[in-house]
Structure 1
Amino acid sequence: MTRVAFLGPDGTFTSQAAVRAAPDGDLVPKATISDVIAAVRDGDVPLGVVPMENSIEGSVNVTLDDLAFGPAGAYIRAEITIPIAMNLLAKTGSALEDITTVRSQPHALAQCRRWLSDHLPTAELQAATSTAEAAREAAAGDGSVAALGPAVAAERFGLEVRAADVHDHDGNTTRFVVLSASMAARTGADKTSIVVFFGEDRPGLLLRILDEFALRGINLTKIESRPTKQALGEYCIFIDCAGHVTDARVAEALRSVHRHAADVRILGSYARADGVVDGPGPADSDAAYAEAADWYARLTGDVSNRI
């Protein structure tokens, strides 16, 4: 049975993603995202599941930073998207007017900011390590503390759903990633995630890096900057692009990006959750690259014979 670390306790949205990743797996709850990633790096578990990005609040910076700046050894091998329904969870008998404190994971609180302002304007908002941990704390309280989280957490900790679907925007979705010590094999409908560190600052550097993908017909599905934590104004960029590192056009693009950058870290190549095949045009296919390589070999061979 495959052991799968996830952001616990049981009842979080991440636990739902972990079940999707390994339906028959042995789920191992961890207290923090960094603990999940460390468990994969250290070889304690073969798989780990962490939140990566939310459609309302954007990227989960703790995940990005740990993958970018932490030790190597944890690669993205799959992504899972889950629709998120946020609910206000409270003890049985607690009315809305009894609630003075709302606890949840910071991203969850942010996803419900407007609803909380409209319906609980005087409530104190407190951060918890996870939605399920917030539910556990609400269940242990006196009824004045509520939690934001999934309905399954209410069932898990004996709470009631006091208000359903309290997130501010429809279509609320979180993208989770499955981590392992090795990269996944090519499927043909893949995505590659990298981090580019600039080093020397010079005009047009970002443009030249992005051009390496555009010139080879590689679509970028995400680009985001994050501070390197080394100096004020010093940033790295996270890029998700279509294709797998073993695709000829992706490999050539990454080699060229590496020439321009101080460093490039590959976070993983993995199957897209949506299954979309964002394939190359005829001139950017692996066959076209192979034919061009053969042509060049013949050309240089002829030149050598003539010297």
Structure 2
Amino acid sequence: MRVGYLGPKGSYSGEALFKLNFLTDFEAIEVSDFSTLFDMLQKRSLDCVIVPVENSIEGAVGIVLELMLKHDFIIQEETILQIQNALMALPGTRLNSIERVLSHPQPLLQCKNMISRLLPYAKVVSCPSTAEAARLASLDPKSAAIGSPKNAELYKLEILLSSISDEEYNFTRFFLLGRTNRSRTGHDKTSIACSTYRDKPGALFSILSEFAFRKINLTKIESRPSKRVLGDYIFFIDMMGHREDAHVKEALAALVDKTSFIKVFGSYPAFREKTV
């Protein structure tokens, strides 16, 4: 099985890949950007892909949610990775000599206050991944990268500062996407996206009441612009239960008449730490 992740080697996506329970025998394929990951899965060059979907500090990874809407892939599993952002550079580098700070946009946002305080004059440069940022920093004595401590090992960098996230609690949730539906395990989640009818009072309440009436626990609800009309939103909802559970099945059926659009991303085992 070929599984794609946002590379190069050493990225957080690569770390998350090895926390999955679903995969046991696979070949990890490095890909340079999210759009290419989804295109390769669409063309069957890959069997699955792992992608970050939300962070405890900065929220949703918008580009990934948009790509999930565009494609018809199924969530196979979720996993959660603790993010330990470190500042790294070539050995012997001093903070006052750093002119550029490189990282993926998410870690840059997660560490923005720390960067402003410690490196107020450095230019912040966005990179496709934390691992690519580390690779580039290994070639430039005036640059430093923010990423996993494993990046320092891979690219022979020195960790100048550890744990530089603005918030101590920093976790990222990942989805493994593929083509097959997962069977019920008894400890499942279901993820959907839907839109309400515009200018209809109580439209969102009407949707949420279907879950409340059936005592379905919603673990996430988030709105994002539909990009069609100002004020038009798509709601991303995660709930406990499998789509084949009777109460979840009933709720999803009820939403068909109450939404202008609904998409079920799949049902999958809720996160548990990987067992040895």
Residue aligning to 1:25: 26
Superposition misfits of 4+ residues, deviation over 6 angstroms: none
Distance in 2, matches of 1:23 and 1:106, equals: 31
SS in structure 2 of the partner of residue 244 of structure 1: coil
CA distance in 2, matches of 1:147, 1:23: 32
Matches within 5 A, 1:32-51: 32-51=33-52
Partner of 2:14: 15
User: Which residue of the other structure, out of 213, 216, 231, is the alignment partner of 2:214?
Assistant: 216
Q: Provide the rounded CA distance (Å) in 2 between the counterparts of 1:97 and 1:212.
A: 57
Question: Contact 1:17/1:80 (CA < 8 Å) preserved in 2?
Answer: yes
Give the Cα–Cα distance (whole angstroms) in 1 for the partners of residues 43 and 246 of structure 2: 32
- In the TM superposition, residue 63 of structure 1 has moved relative to its aligned partner by 0.8
Alignment check: 8 A CA contact 1:244 1:250 kept: yes
Query: In the alignment, what sits opposite 1:138?
Result: 137
Amino acid at match of 2:36: D
For the Cα contact (< 8 Å) 1:221–1:240, is it kept in 2?
yes
Deviation at 1:268?
1.4
Structure 2 equivalent of residue 158 of structure 1: 156
What is the aligned partner in structure 2 of residue 252 from structure 1? 250
Write the distance in 1 (CA, Å) between the matches of 2:182 and 2:40.
19
Report deviation, 1:261.
Answer: 0.6
Instruction: Tell me if structure 2 keeps the 8 A contact 1:40–1:181.
Output: no
Q: Supply the AA of the counterpart residue of 2:256.
A: H
Matched with 2:4 is 5
What is the letter of the counterpart of residue 162 of structure 1? Answer: L
Whichever residue aligns with residue 127 of structure 1, its letter is S
Shift of 1:232: 1.4
In the TM superposition, 1:65-80 aligns within 5 A as 65-68=66-69, 70-72=70-72, 74-80=73-79
In structure 1, distance between residues paired with 2:206 and 2:259: 10
Q: Give distance in 1, aligned partners of 2:250 and 2:157.
A: 54
Whether the 8 Å CA contact 1:134–1:147 is kept in 2: the answer is: yes
Amino acid at match of 2:177: L
8 Å contact from structure 1 (residues 5, 27) kept in 2: yes
Shift of 1:127: 0.6
CA contact (8 A) 1:105 1:127 kept: yes
Name the stretch that deviates more: 202-211 or 183-192.
Answer: 183-192
Q: Going by fraction, where is helix more abundant, 1 or 2? A: 1
CA contact 2:198–2:232 (8 Å) conserved in 1: no
**Other structure's SS at 1:161 match:** strand
Deviations 1:49-81 (A, max 9, x none): 00011111111111111112x132x11110010
TM-score for the superposition, normalised by structure 1: 0.86
Over the matched positions of the two proteins, sequence identity in percent amounts to 38
**Corresponding residue for residue 124 of structure 1:** 123
SS of structure 2 residue aligned to 1:264: strand
Is 1:52 matched up with 2:47? no
- Deviation string for 1:135-182 (max 9, x for gaps)? 1111111x1111100011111111111111111111211111101112
Trace 1:162-181 onto structure 2 (pairs within 5 A). 162-181=160-179
Match of 2:113 in 1: 114
| Letter in structure 1 aligned against 2:33 | T
Distance 1:38 1:238 in 2: 22
Corresponding position: 1:191 with 2:192: no
Q: Secondary structure at the match of 1:185?
A: coil
Q: CA deviation at 1:35?
A: 1.8
Name the SS of the counterpart of 2:256 in structure 1. Answer: helix
TM superposition shift of 1:122: 1.1
Cα distance change of structure 1 residues 170 and 235 upon mapping to structure 2, 3 Å threshold: same
Q: CA deviation at 1:15?
A: 0.3
Contact 2:76 2:176 in 1 (8 A): yes
CA contact (8 A) 2:197 2:203 kept: no
Q: CA deviation at 1:23?
A: 5.0
**SS in structure 2 of the partner of residue 165 of structure 1:** coil
> What is the rounded CA distance, in whole Å, between the counterparts of 1:44 and 1:161 in structure 2?
36
Report the number of matched residues: 271
- Consecutive unaligned residues in structure 2, runs of 5 or more: none
- When Rg is computed on C-alpha atoms for both structures, the one with the higher figure is 1
Secondary structure of the residue that 2:184 maps to in structure 1? coil
Instruction: Give unpaired runs (5+ residues) of structure 1.
Output: 276-307
SS in 1 for 2:18: helix
More relative contact order in 1 or in 2 (CA 8 Å, sep 6+)? 2
- For the 8 Å contact 1:193–1:266, the answer to whether it is kept is yes
Equivalent-residue separation in structure 2 for 1:159 and 1:195 (angstroms)? 42
